[in-house]
Structure 1
């Protein structure tokens, strides 16, 4: 589990678009904290305390503690609206969580030891089917990531969901507990591309031959006309 990020914010006096615009003019990011059967809290976040984390992997399953005028809220990020031109955050949604909350998050999958996979050494390609795995668990039990060891995998071998080390207090949300996470695929795309390139000259030659043959009779037909 990753460390909890500390975020600094203050309460917003006004809700709605007017209050959001006012916060942005002050250099802050308008946001809201909701959930856990409590009333929403309208806040404005200090950009420096969160901007570096927004584009990191696993941002939406990363626990945060927001200090709002001296009151701390344990939260998970749930939505980020960004400016389409500057890519700067325009609004943030946070889900309030308690120690007994059960939440659904997407946990990224990491792969290691590709150099120790014989199939990859022979030109095979790592085909990732599941980049993230959806789980339900308590906030304190959210895995930072799931790790897949590729050591010894040959071309045609697969890694299945059932082979991952899932903590006891974490439940995978899936209908297929033996779903494929990744496989070592043969480089068929490369071979097909090479075959296409090799066949191109032959096709051009075949097309050129009839054209040459057609030109000969035309020349022969022109000779009697001169007589």
Structure 2
């Protein structure tokens, strides 16, 4: 998994006035949990761009006053009107200790069921996984190519790696459902057409055989 480096400064004052002053200066107040004690720090809002505004999941390398911490983003608060980042909580992770993280699902492929008018229903856009930090994926791939109308894609059928999905094996990640625009499966039609042609040839052969039998009797 890709790691985004964020350089910040530890802060001693955590009151409302100090927090407001930081935000006015373009800084984001943050807290790092998971260690011996919480670490309060701040960093420029632009420093979080690649970590927050991305379709993939990333870890963070926090460089704070000469110390370096590995972490994952745990919670983030946005301003309800401006969407500016107000506060971020991080959770410290360690190289040899497994961590649980929410990973986005990338749907790939061209489903036959969708081509024939079905609707792809994405039940899960993210999944919870557990792994060592070095084995965490940026995203997991769900290939929908084999899905026909009415088919479901279970979690056991998506990308596997050195991580564990924290969902039951019968979890349906997505499915192709019927819709008003549905048309018959073209490939099934072709198969039926071939079978029908073979049946017609058989009937013609039987008819010729019967005619031959009548001529011999005459």
What is the deviation of 1:69?
2.2
What is the deviation of 1:155?
0.8
CA deviation profile, 1:37-61 (whole Å, cap 9, x unmatched): x111110111221134323224xx4
What is the deviation of 1:136?
1.5
Aligned to 1:172: 165
Aligned to 2:176: 184
Unaligned runs of 5+ in 2: 183-218
Aligned to 2:84: 88
Is 1:71 the counterpart of 2:67? The answer is yes
Is 1:44 the counterpart of 2:42? The answer is yes
Aligned to 2:203: none
- 8 Å contact from structure 1 (residues 126, 185) kept in 2: yes
Q: TM-score, normalised by structure 2?
A: 0.77
Give the RMSD, CA atoms, in angstroms: 1.8
Instruction: Compare the two structures and name the one with the higher helix fraction.
Output: 1
Is 1:137 the counterpart of 2:136? The answer is no
CA deviation profile, 1:96-148 (whole Å, cap 9, x unmatched): 1110232211111111122xx22111111111112211111121111111112
Aligned to 2:54: 56
- 8 Å contact from structure 2 (residues 72, 93) kept in 1: yes
1:1-227 correspondence to structure 2 within 5 Å = 1=1, 3-36=2-35, 38-58=36-56, 61-114=57-110, 117-167=111-161, 169-174=162-167, 176-188=168-180
Unaligned runs of 5+ in 1: 192-227
- 8 Å contact from structure 1 (residues 13, 19) kept in 2: no
What is the deviation of 1:91?
0.9
What is the deviation of 1:81?
1.2
CA deviation profile, 1:138-168 (whole Å, cap 9, x unmatched): 211111111121223211111111112322x
What is the deviation of 1:90?
0.9
Q: Could you tell me how far apart the structure 2 residues matched to 1:51 and 1:164 are?
A: 29
Runs of 4 or more off by more than 4 Å in structure 1? none
